[in-house]
Chain A
Amino acid sequence: MMDPRALSSPAARPIRAAAARDPGPLGPPPALSAAGITKRFGPLLALDDVSLRLAPGSFHALLGENGAGKSTLVKCIMGYHPADAGEVRVGDAALSIRSPREAQSLGIGMVYQHFTLVMNMTVAENLVLARPSLPLVIDWRKEREAIRAFMARMPFRIDPERTVRELATGEKQKLEILKQLYLGSRILLLDEPTSVLTPAEADEVLGMLRRMADEQRISVLMISHKFREVMAFADEVTVLRRGRVAGRGKARDLTPAAMAEMMVGAQPAHVSAARGDAPAGEPVLRIVGLAATAGRGRRALDGVTLTVRRGEIVGIAGVSGNGQEELVEVLAGQRAAREGAVLVHGEPYGAGREQTRAHRVRCLPEEPLRNACVPAMSVAENLGFRVFDRPPFTALRFGVSRAALRRSAERLVAEYAVKTPSVDAPIGRLSGGNVQRAVLARELGSGEDIELLIAANPCFGLDFAAVAEIRSRILLARNRGTAVLLVSADLDEIFAMADRVLVMSEGRIVHESPIASADVAAIGRAMAGHR
């Protein structure tokens, strides 16, 4: 067992004072319970009499579909939203937590889905900055020593002098968690902490939290979609559906199927597509010796060569930040290649509008709101990006028919179940999952068969049902003969979908195997850079 003082840092002192009512800062973390929480947003009943108890030292998973109220519940506990009814108790005291600051002073810390780090500052500055009170003049030498001592007690560490921007995604997520521990939080609320991590990173982070929970140093409440992680790390589960508790229990007593049923109700969760077994056809996409540089002249792609054939899904696995993003950017025409060639159907391909159309190439990039949409333009306009300059949307080579765009958008919105107030709403107002669906509708819903689909983390941050739906649509496209390049940081996704897996590390393809004979351990070693 580690030194229990590990959690005390200079910053923790005011929190200790606040926690004096509790068994003591060195004992187990206080219990957290929420009782009868009800929250309305206008006409929408987001939470309806939800209760949950987080026992000291437990690892509690909060499951539910998008919009089930998980984030709302956590935000009510943190004091972001005042609950309309119900109470939150920490230890023995009933408390009305009115702001995240107050929650923080009670030792409750939240790790958000998006990063709350300041990118252009160092790790040390970010840690110091997060403290509830800063001295007027900061003695950096003393702070650095304190941070170094703090890091030495942590299961993972990050060089305090590095700029956050330079950290890999996984490291940023670890820093978010370290920040809460540095602040002396004993109860950690995590909103999908592993959605940006590779399976290995996720296991490392969750395993560490699990150990700390077992040692009674912290309690964890984690929002998740991933059954695998819930089964492996959580000991208690609460499932929300449409703002109500749909089920709860010990993780060891539950099966993924039982949890899925609680999450989505009785109806089947997804239309599953079977993988057709037609052999892959002629090459559609060939990439030869592709090199590109990223920001600050870093060599992001270093001689990438690969082929994707008709009717196959080629999965690119790898720790995020090893060139996958740049590869997709080159293929999408967002980044210039320095060397090498991209060939589609044997012809040089530069992602120009004419070429994209001629070869029927479609792309589902990462962060679709940033890479594939104009947030301020309407859903209908965004859905028309591929076709607005062609009949029937335009006549006489100019003038765009808004009516035709809207009709087409309404059809796509209905078909792909995009939840939007209307097709005239700016797409930037839609939730992440719905933006993803809208882009998917635009890319796959045009009615014509797609020759080549490039998809990067297409299910990132989506709920269970949406993931199943998007995966089955991609599989269906493959069965119809589309060549698919699937870039994913989620190894499970690649194993579920790909016919062949390539591993990318430091801008190179370092491993290749058919999925049938793929060895997870070998892929893991390749991802980690061991060849």
Chain B
Amino acid sequence: MSDATALGLWGIPLAVAAGAIRISTPFLFVSLGECLTEKSGRVNLGLEGTLVMGAMGGYGVSYLTGSAWLGVLAAGLIGAALGALHAWLCSKPRVNDIAVGIALMLFGVGLAFFLGKPLIQPTAPRLPAISLGFFSDLPQVRAALEVNALFLIGAALAPLLLWMLRRTRSGLVLRTVGESADSARAMGVDVNLVRRRATMAGGFLAGVGGSFLSLFYPGSWNEGLSSGQGLMAVALVIYARWNPVRCLAASLLFGGASALGPALQSVGVTWGYHLFNAAPYIVTLAILVAASSATRPLRDQPAELTLAR
């Protein structure tokens, strides 16, 4: 963590910005994944389990192969496999995607803890950071601008996904499936296949998000690694109104709010530390309340997305 004291109060925004990028990365990947899945008309609440499995699997593969990027790939593949499991279960008649998601969340977390026991001690190679602070002589600035590569990939992915949803055949088909399964069937589209692919892709991204936790920050595998990022990401998707670029903005906002507590502490503000740590959740609640209405339906919500189907 950057030592912001030498910069005085300027250290706070710097630390918040650096923290925002660092903390937002798993949120970004999970919310992009969830966004993709929900656009197909299905909710995957199991992404918390996918995230933890991805963290464990990524760390394990990175340790065994010596390559952090292979770890990231493995985490993604594990996520895709869990996504395929979710999609397969949900394709059965009378299966509810929310219930399956909760079951898979607990399953994923439990399985990761079980398989990850031997990985708590060893140290695996970590992901590189890219120094964007080369222009500055201040060590604090240089430290704050050590941006992880995964964040950059995620930040590039968000507009790419938006473009895909709007401009490509697969995007249009995906949205049709999420808006009206009947219309999609009338077009000759295999609705289950599209949803399976979307859920697998979503799982892949969530798995990659998990590998960030174990391979970059905090950068080790233990059972307290995730603090509910997988679940919060679902809320982020709602307030990003199913738009990948807004998912990026929401993740950054959430990350920035999370970094507020540590940043203030680093400049010596000890008052209300726990209160500031709760800032992201307060922000989430505030935005959800502000964005919601008792009389209006949620804007941009895929029409096939319902709690009970």
Residues of chain A having any CB pair with chain B under 8 Å: 99-101, 116-121, 125, 128-130, 134-138, 140, 293, 295-297
- With contacts A116-B186, A119-B180 taken as known, whether A138 is within 8 angstroms of B168 at the C-beta atoms is yes
Q: How far is the CB of B172 from chain A (nearest CB, A)?
A: 6
B190 within 8 A of A: no
Complex CA gap A296/B187 in Å reads 31
Complex CA gap A414/B10 in Å reads 82
A-B contact pairs, 11 of them (CB 8 A): A116-B180, A116-B182, A116-B183, A119-B303, A121-B179, A128-B172, A136-B169, A136-B170, A137-B169, A138-B169, A295-B296
Is B176's CB under 8 angstroms from A129's CB?
yes
- With contacts A119-B303, A137-B167 taken as known, whether A100 is within 8 angstroms of B172 at the C-beta atoms is no
- CB contact between A140 and one of B167, B180, B300 (< 8 Å): that residue: B167
Chain A residues near B300 (CB-CB < 8 A): 120
Q: How far is the CB of B40 from chain A (nearest CB, A)?
A: 13
Complex CA gap A125/B166 in Å reads 9
Chain B residues near A117 (CB-CB < 8 A): 180, 183
Is A137's CB under 8 angstroms from B168's CB?
yes
Chain B residues near A140 (CB-CB < 8 A): 166-167
Is B296's CB under 8 angstroms from A296's CB?
yes
Is A118's CB under 8 angstroms from B168's CB?
no
Chain A residues near B182 (CB-CB < 8 A): 116
Q: Closest A-chain residue to B242, C-beta based?
A: A120
- With contacts A101-B188, A118-B183, A119-B303 taken as known, whether A125 is within 8 angstroms of B172 at the C-beta atoms is yes
For the complex with contacts A116-B180, A128-B172, 6 further pairs of A-B residues with Cβ separation under 8 Å are A117-B180, A119-B180, A121-B176, A129-B176, A129-B183, A136-B170
Chain A residues near B303 (CB-CB < 8 A): 119-120
Q: Closest A-chain residue to B169, C-beta based?
A: A134
Is B186's CB under 8 angstroms from A293's CB?
no
B121 within 8 A of A: no
Chain A residues near B296 (CB-CB < 8 A): 295-297
Chain A residues near B176 (CB-CB < 8 A): 118, 121, 129
Is A138's CB under 8 angstroms from B186's CB?
no
Number of interface residues of B (CB under 8 A): 22
- CB contact between A138 and one of B167, B183, B302 (< 8 Å): that residue: B167
For the residues of B in contact with A, the DSSP-based class is helix
Chain B residues near A128 (CB-CB < 8 A): 172
Q: How far is the CB of B176 from chain A (nearest CB, A)?
A: 6
Is B186's CB under 8 angstroms from A118's CB?
no
Chain B residues near A129 (CB-CB < 8 A): 172, 176, 183, 187
Chain B residues near A295 (CB-CB < 8 A): 295-297
Complex CA gap A121/B166 in Å reads 11
Complex CA gap A248/B176 in Å reads 41
Complex CA gap A296/B170 in Å reads 30
Complex CA gap A296/B167 in Å reads 27
Chain B residues near A137 (CB-CB < 8 A): 167-169
B86 within 8 A of A: no
B175 within 8 A of A: yes
Q: Closest B-chain residue to A117, C-beta based?
A: B183
How does the 8 Å CB contact mask read for B142-181 relative to A, with 1 for contact and 0 for none? 0000000000000000000000001111101101100110
Complex CA gap A119/B295 in Å reads 19
Residues of chain B having any CB pair with chain A under 8 Å: 166-170, 172-173, 175-176, 179-180, 182-183, 186-188, 295-297, 300, 302-303
List of 10 A-B pairs having minimum Cβ-Cβ separation, nearest first: A134-B169, A118-B179, A118-B180, A120-B179, A118-B183, A137-B168, A136-B169, A116-B183, A138-B167, A101-B188
Q: Closest B-chain residue to A298, C-beta based?
A: B296
Is A136's CB under 8 angstroms from B168's CB?
yes
Complex CA gap A297/B300 in Å reads 16
Report how many A-B pairs have Cβ atoms within 8 Å.
54
Complex CA gap A125/B165 in Å reads 12
Q: How far is the CB of B254 from chain A (nearest CB, A)?
A: 26
Chain A residues near B172 (CB-CB < 8 A): 125, 128-129, 134, 138
Q: How far is the CB of B278 from chain A (nearest CB, A)?
A: 32
Is B168's CB under 8 angstroms from A293's CB?
no
Q: How far is the CB of B37 from chain A (nearest CB, A)?
A: 17
Q: How far is the CB of B87 from chain A (nearest CB, A)?
A: 22
Q: Closest B-chain residue to A131, C-beta based?
A: B187
Q: Closest B-chain residue to A292, C-beta based?
A: B295
Chain A residues near B179 (CB-CB < 8 A): 118-121
Most buried by A among B166, B182, B187, B297: B187
Is A130's CB under 8 angstroms from B187's CB?
yes
- With contacts A101-B188, A130-B187, A295-B295 taken as known, whether A120 is within 8 angstroms of B302 at the C-beta atoms is yes
Complex CA gap A363/B186 in Å reads 35
Q: How far is the CB of A105 from chain B (nearest CB, A)?
A: 11
Complex CA gap A117/B302 in Å reads 14
Q: How far is the CB of B170 from chain A (nearest CB, A)?
A: 8
Chain B residues near A297 (CB-CB < 8 A): 295-296
Q: How far is the CB of B26 from chain A (nearest CB, A)?
A: 29
Q: How far is the CB of B114 from chain A (nearest CB, A)?
A: 40
Is A100's CB under 8 angstroms from B186's CB?
yes
Chain A residues near B168 (CB-CB < 8 A): 136-138
Q: Closest A-chain residue to B184, C-beta based?
A: A118
Q: Closest A-chain residue to B293, C-beta based?
A: A297
Most buried by A among B166, B170, B183: B183
Complex CA gap A128/B169 in Å reads 10
- With contacts A136-B169, A295-B296, A297-B296 taken as known, whether A121 is within 8 angstroms of B175 at the C-beta atoms is yes
Is A135's CB under 8 angstroms from B302's CB?
no
Q: How far is the CB of A156 from chain B (nearest CB, A)?
A: 22
Chain A residues near B186 (CB-CB < 8 A): 100, 116
Chain A residues near B180 (CB-CB < 8 A): 116-119
Complex CA gap A129/B169 in Å reads 9
Q: How far is the CB of A332 from chain B (nearest CB, A)?
A: 16
Chain B residues near A293 (CB-CB < 8 A): 295
Chain B residues near A125 (CB-CB < 8 A): 172
Most buried by B among A118, A121, A136, A293: A118
Q: Closest B-chain residue to A136, C-beta based?
A: B169
Complex CA gap A138/B171 in Å reads 10
Q: How far is the CB of A452 from chain B (nearest CB, A)?
A: 27
Q: Closest A-chain residue to B188, C-beta based?
A: A101
Complex CA gap A349/B187 in Å reads 48
Complex CA gap A128/B166 in Å reads 12
Chain A residues near B170 (CB-CB < 8 A): 136
Chain A residues near B166 (CB-CB < 8 A): 140
Chain B residues near A116 (CB-CB < 8 A): 180, 182-183, 186
Q: How far is the CB of B113 from chain A (nearest CB, A)?
A: 40
Q: Closest B-chain residue to A139, C-beta based?
A: B167
Chain B residues near A100 (CB-CB < 8 A): 186
Q: How far is the CB of A330 from chain B (nearest CB, A)?
A: 13
Complex CA gap A117/B179 in Å reads 10
Q: How far is the CB of B58 from chain A (nearest CB, A)?
A: 32
Complex CA gap A120/B304 in Å reads 11
Q: Closest B-chain residue to A138, C-beta based?
A: B167
Q: Closest B-chain residue to A140, C-beta based?
A: B167
Q: Closest A-chain residue to B177, C-beta based?
A: A118
